[in-house]
Amino acid sequence: MAITVTQRAARKIQQVFEKNEMPADACLRVGVKGGGCGGFSYTLDVTDAPAEDDEVFQTGGVRVVCDPKSYLYLNGTEVDYDDSLLQGGFKFNNPNAAKSCGCGASFST
């Protein structure tokens, strides 16, 4: 499987890349780290190029990269974007999450 982004998320990522004058081959780095109310927290970052051992996906016109350990938890995840006033931001639809916290920023397996 892959990590994918919705068209809404892809548009927002491309806007961020353009605003920050990122190189044409810039990538969205998606990962997890320990912590948060659910046990794991999602991370998003921008990188100039993937690391040698990264999983790399092309989705919605955006190159997404993920380190191998995070990919164990994120395989099949869809990244979406919500621009509503109160609940706005990137959202993760993760089929591997047994539970997610109310804010959607952390999960447990």
The span from the CA of 103 to the CA of 61, in Å, is 27
The span from the CA of 37 to the CA of 101, in Å, is 6
| Predicted pLDDT at 25 | 85
**Using one digit for the tens of pLDDT, what is the confidence trace for 20-52?**
898 888 999 999 998 766 688 899 999 988 999
In angstroms, what CA-CA distances link 106 with 22, 39, 41, 49?
28, 7, 4, 26
**Using one digit for the tens of pLDDT, what is the confidence trace for 44-90?**
999 988 999 999 999 989 999 999 999 999 999 999 999 887 778 89
| Domains parsed from the chain with CATH numbers | 4-108 (2.60.300.12)
